[in-house]
Structure 1
Amino acid sequence: MTEIPGHEPASSLNTADLPPLAWQKSRRSNPSGNCVELAALPDGGGVAVRNSRHPDGPVLVYTPAEIDAFLGGVRDGDFDHLLS
């Protein structure tokens, strides 16, 4: 993972490092597997994110506040330019 000066990176684990979780994909997912899956950690401890094509691979864990800020930015269209 690339270090960014002045920024704490999200913690990175593997699926095996976590308790069993209820992973969820977007309803907009397609059969080609180009999606990420998210799961709430027990006791509100954050949100885990993984690549659906590599379910046993790396998992990034974000705090609820980080996910809230990200989703707000998505709703506001802050990241639309990344796909054009």
Structure 2
Amino acid sequence: MAADQIGAARWQKARASDAKNDCVEVARLGENEFAVRNSRFPTGPALIFTKEEMDAFAHGAGLGEFSNMPV
């Protein structure tokens, strides 16, 4: 889905984002859904995740499970 077509979305960017806007933005969509987009392409695609999926991702990131991925 195109991010700019999610009418009620209030996008939030992490405070840790850099000056070039190289970051991810998240918007809560109701009680159980979140949208995620690339801040450099605000009209580009958004991915929709459930609260459980976002919780699992945040938990894994907090544990460092993604720290071995090549950059």
TM-score, reference length from structure 1: 0.77
Q: Which residue of 1 aligns with 2:43?
A: 56
CA deviations on 1:22-63 (whole Å, 9 max, x unpaired) are 101111001111101000002x13110000000011000000
Aligned residues: 71
Q: Tell me the amino acid that sits aligned with residue 25 of structure 2.
A: E
Give the superposed CA RMSD. 1.4
**Structure 2 unaligned runs (5+)?**
none
Alignment identity in percent? Answer: 39
- Give the 4+ runs in structure 1 shifted more than 2 A: none
Q: Which residue of 2 aligns with 1:18?
A: 6
**Structure 1 unaligned runs (5+)?**
1-12
1:23-62 map, 5 Å: 23-42=11-30, 44-62=31-49
Residue 83 (structure 1) shift: 5.0
TM-score, reference length from structure 2: 0.90
**Do the aligned partners of 2:8 and 2:29 also contact (CA within 8 Å) in 1?**
no
**Do the aligned partners of 2:4 and 2:42 also contact (CA within 8 Å) in 1?**
no
The structure carrying a bigger helix percent of its residues is 1
2: distance between equivalents of 1:58 and 1:82? 23
Higher alpha-carbon Rg:
1
Q: Tell me the amino acid that sits aligned with residue 5 of structure 2.
A: D
